[in-house]
Amino acid sequence: MKYFRLLGILSACVLMTSCAQSLSVSKKETFEQKSGVIGVFRQPVGFCSGGYQQQIKLGGEKIIVKPTWTSEQDNLFSAYIEPGKADLESYRYSCGFTETTLTLAEKHGVVVPQNGFCKIVISFLKNDELFSKNEVLLFNQFKKEEVAAEFDDIPYCETY
């Protein structure tokens, strides 16, 4: 029985990973002639994720915002997204065997530039703004993850 449960968890992780975008930000070509978003996702402290990845749906794209086997509160995310308005549609996480999808009641999102990427912090921490331009947090994550693009060359995303 334990083996079936473990097999089920592993299968779910593989399936979730195959459906969501994840870019190699350490490669310069990732940022060439493409549009998209790069940023930091902040999950609530002590939030139950049980070793599962977390995803948001932004501009119709499923984006991994917390990798499977990390306990970090702040995680870098990136995705190719078509230029224009990109609604933040949902946030999906798991706790044990329970999967939860939060859907925002009001329309919120970012404006992806015609050419290139924009950067933003998305936070689900209590008392935090949903979108922010936390320069220190973004800069430190860019450095930690060895992002190939220059920090100052990527503008902040406009939000709505």
Predicted TM-score (pTM) of the model is 0.82
Range list of β-strands (E), the chain? 35-42, 54-58, 61-66, 74-80, 84-95, 98-103, 109-112, 116-123, 131-132, 158-159
In angstroms, the Cα distances linking 160 to 61, 90, 113 are 18, 16, 14
Output the pLDDT for position 1. 56
Output the pLDDT for position 6. 43
Output the pLDDT for position 113. 97
Output the pLDDT for position 19. 44
Domain boundaries, the chain: 28-159
Given a contact cutoff of 8 angstroms between Cβ atoms, the answer to whether 110 and 58 are in contact is yes
Output the pLDDT for position 16. 44
Mean pLDDT by 10 residues, the chain (160 residues): 48 45 84 96 70 90 89 93 98 85 94 97 93 98 96 97
In this structure, CATH architecture of domain 28-159: Sandwich (2.60)
